[in-house]
Structure 1
Amino acid sequence: MHKMPRIWMDYCTFLTDQNKITRTRKVFDRALRALPVTQHHRIWPLYLNFVKKHDIPETAIRVFRRYLKLCPENAEEYVEYLSGIDKLDEAALTLAKIVNNENFVSQYGKSKHQLWNELCELISNNPDKVQSLNVDAIIRGGLRRYTDQLGHLWNSLANYYVRSGLFERARDIYEEAIQTVTTVRDFTQVFDAYAQFEELSLSKRMEEVSKVASPSEDDNIDLELRLARFEDLMERRLLLLNSVLLRQNPHNVQEWHKRVQLYEGKPHDIINTYTEAVQTVDPKLAVGKLHTLWVEFAKFYEKNGQVDDARIIFEKAIQVPYVKVDDLASVWCEWTEMEIRNENYEEALKLMHRATAMPSRKVAYHDDGETVQARLYKSLKVWSMYADLEESFGTFKSCKAVYDHIIDLKIATPQIIINYGIFLEENNYFEEAFRAYEKGISLFKWPNVYDIWNTYLTKFLKRYGGSKLERARDLFEQCLEKCPPQFAKNLYLLYAKLEEEHGMARHAMAVYERATKAVPEKEMYDIFNVYIKRAAEIYGIPKTRQIYEKAIEVLPEDRTREMCLRFADMETKLGEIDRARAVYAHCSQICDPRVTTEFWQTWKEFEVRHGNEDTMREMLRIKRSVQAMYNTQVNMMSAQMLSSAAATTGTTADLAPGEKDGMRLLEAKAAEMAGSAGLVTRSGNIMFVRGETQGNKQDKVVNPDEIDIDDEEEEIENEEVPIEKKNIPSEVFGSLKKDDLND
């Protein structure tokens, strides 16, 4: 029994080779009847190949139908066969059944979407051969089902009508498509196909007309109509694209503005667009500023001379439930500006009075649970414009009341306070202005109060000068009490100027002294410059020595060098050569010769002009000492690093012999370098620099103002003394600490 399928297969194959078609078909049928169903899969492939090979469509179709009852999963093979023999209606029906069968699994691994596209392509490209299906209904079903492929499906439906010769119907499909798609990709696909369709239609009609010897008037009209239709389509492209974007998000305010611009020159369309926009956009879902639509709508009427209609638009706009109070405030301000442009000043003031009216109950400005209309009374934007209008068109009393109301509501800014003070001053209410400044000072803290203080003090000094000196001093002291360092500079300079012009010089100097401590480090240099300049003008140049010394103590290194050079230059001009030399010697301790070459060149030029061979040699010796000091600092850091490493890993005795030798060599080298540089060390620390006597006393430059040094100190040669103390008058560095000189 198990050999029967094989026998039938061999028999069928033999008959097939003999080209006995009818007999072979009957043998296949007998084999299928004789064999059990479980063995049919061995016969059907031979049977199907047989009917395909001998080109007998009717028989093949009947055979395939019987086969699909047993193996419905192979329906795609049947569709391929039908497409090959041009039986497209039957192929479309079978493919439609496949698509509608939710349990169907493609033997070729195709998805339902791919099968649907094949069906759409088949029925749209062959409208004359597919008669059994409602193509329009099938494709529209796909439009509802596959929303990510709308462009392709719409083009397939339009293509079906084009191939059917129903051009007007195809045009309607294209119009419907571009009015319904919601993505730019789908729109682009449909629009390009639509434009190509219109262009081909136009070009074909032009060819037909050109072949006619004498075209009739109807032909010319039809040609012009097709051309106008194509041009209109291309002109509408941007507008259609804008419609797509608005279908994506109808609450996009910016796209509504773009749509209005596309209708430029068409007032009725613009009005309809604005009307549709304000009715469509939800304030809570709006992307952008909704109030701009209302404002531009009203401005459109204003530009066309319809001010009353613009007022109606604004009246509706102020009732919209905006998300932010600022949007409603902007509408009120725009409405007021429109009235001002039309010179309706009284109406503008009434509008501002309406906008700032107190509600029936007080609400918090930031309470989102309340409407924006109820919170508008605390809008600074509206109050600021109200104050400006009152200044321009109101009375002094009404304007003052507005400013006072702003302050009472505690919504004032420093600029509002300053504007209030200037307004009162312009009307000669100076004390009222000063009281307004004081109110502002009580409302704000640093740094916001800086502008108010600056304006207040400037105006007060301009008004009273030195007639109310004690009051001015009290104001300055109150201002500077909690003033941050970054705002102190200008205030101290203003205070010092007051004391110079109307007070006492020593008070001014005291203010400058306080300023040097109150300002940030980066501004100290500027303050010291002003301090030195004013001290020189008031007391004379010699009185600036203490200021220079103070500056050298507190300034950072780069500024200290500049101050030392200026100090030395001043002493040189005064003829105090030894003092100048002492300043150079002191400054040299922070001047690395490899970096600050300019300083050493300046000192060298000084010695060339005012010194002698001994002083020049001393300068060079100091230069070498400073150089060695900076080199030794690097070596000391290395030694400290090595010592810390040794402390971590063990003592020197714990090191290997090679490591011991390396440590000894490093120590010896460091000691040798310190000795060659004239440095005397103790326990590895630098103590002082070895000095030498610089020639005979009578060879030195004689300075009658120089303080004599003790004879005992002059007789000591090669004594180890700090280099800064050698030949330095005590007055110059009397206020400097010994540690500062040795650093």
Structure 2
Amino acid sequence: MPVALALPSEADLPYEEDVLRDPHSIRPWRRYLAARAAAPLQERAVRALPGSYKLWHAYLLERTAAAARAKPHCGEHPANEALNRAFERALATLHRMPRIWEMYLAALLEQRLVTRARRAFDRALRALPVTQHHRVWPLYLRLAALPSCPAETSIRIYRRFLQFEPSRADELVELLVSAGRWQEAADHIVSVLNGGSDVSDNDRALLLKLCDLLAKHADEVAGLKVESVLRGAMRELPDEAGRLRALLAECYARRGLYDKARDVFEEGVTTAATAAEFALVFEAYAQLEQSLVAAKMEKTADEEGDKLFAKMYEAHGNLDSADEVFAKATQASHRSADDLATVWCEWAEMQLRHKRFDKAIALMRQATAEPSAEVKLRAAAAAAAGDDEPAQLKLHKSAKLWSFYVDLEESLGALASTRAAYEGAMAARAATPQMVINYASFLEERGYFEDSFAACETGANLFGHPHSKPIWDTYLERFVARHGGSKAERARELFAEATRRAPPHDRARLFLRHARDRASVYEAYAGRAAELRGVPKVRRVYEQAIESGGLPRRDALALCLRLAALEEALGEAARARAVFVHASGYGDPDADEEFWAKWSGFEVRHGDERTFTDMLRIRRTQKHAKTPGVQVNGELKDEKKKRCADQLGATQSKRQRV
């Protein structure tokens, strides 16, 4: 808002006259201000001489003091807003004056206006020459250190500052570490270390910081080999070898590689160059072993305490008290669901030792049931408090518990309850591949073949490769053994599905393993050829299958009938007749009535008296041969070959493309 200008008093008249005589001179204004230090007068002065640094400096000092006396509680206070507007007016003409910028930036920092201050700092760096940036950056770093400044903003400020002062790279590293950005911190240290030739004290500190970072946060830092970096640091800093070996061992221990951690400590103990280095490595080694022993003792105490207590009651015949101990143990906190499953299994085994079979089965059913409402409430409370989920929430998905339960049901339970147990394990996705195979065998032994195949199919859908591999192998083998060629279409579908789900390198094994069912393979091949390449390709597939040999007699005969039906459907009667003539070598005149009936029907539809007579003669000749597929003499074989060749050649020009 505009400042109200008061009328001059009688004492001000001499100064007013001096100002009026030379209004563009700074000297009369300074004398006037010294005698009458008032805001309205200062406002008149800076308006009259907006380019005067001395007038603006005095005016801004007065306005800053006035704003401080007002004690505003936030940056949006009217006193602060008036002060900021005054600074902006001054910078309109004095943007090259670093002192004005310093005063303005310091005022914004006091007001905690982060965004406005950041923009003002950027303007100051653009307005001032680089030689004066050293007066701005200390204030800018104060902004980055404010608690209200976002971490991303602080990091960006420091990245810009390092372009001005590269030697202070460790400050950015500390900022990145405090923000939990381990990867960026490691990458920055590596870039700084790779940029210099000599190892300075600053580089030494950065290298140690990198080693500490990798040892404690190896999983969060990608692209760096922890062991290589630490061992390289040992060569660069031999006086820090003991500390670096302790860090490397700590890294292995965090990953659970305790044997490797021990190897590093053993190496450090045997190669220590000084007593101080030996003491450091040995102390870290002892702390590791002590922590491992304490963890094992705690775990043993947690897991075995209740068991031993219950066994004491069991030894004295007090099973009710033992049940109470186990019941309390199942409600206690456990590290994992498998630890809790062990308690339930021990409880059930106690019932089995005392012939309480129904009680054991009831316990397993209770343990594998869905979590109760109470357990879910406890889990929700733990999640709200930031704690781990209780083990009881995951118990019904424990493979160890389900494996014990299905074995118990299979040994002692009824058929329906055993099936329910296996189905429950698969529904909870706690079944293992071996459990699925056991379930299929259980059903097959009791004559439920289709249910057995359904169990294999359900189990195969639960797992990916390679875990589903034994299930598919069992499924295909038992299906072929059960149905043989009676359900060829379904067998082909199963084979195609197994091949589709198998990885490329395992598909050849499936083809080779099921090569004995070559007819099904050729049928699948023909089906895919029909989808992708059309009927001409299907014809070549059948011809290749028939001419290649190696097929069982009945399979070869079936493929010939399929090819003949295809040729007949295409209107190629002569080619179909040639196929029938060739297939007669596989036909048994007494056993394969279907083949001879189809050939006879074909001749009735498309032949004449001569072709029908030839069919009867071939059948009669085969009957005299007694052995199916073996000719009486070479003349018949040559005659059949000649007739087939003539018929195929005569129809070659009339071959239709579909």
Tell me the TM-score range normalised by the shorter chain.
Answer: 0.3 to 0.5
Which protein is richer in helix relative to its size?
2
Question: Which is greater in Rg?
Answer: 1
TM-score (normalised: structure 1): 0.35
TM-score, reference length from structure 2: 0.38
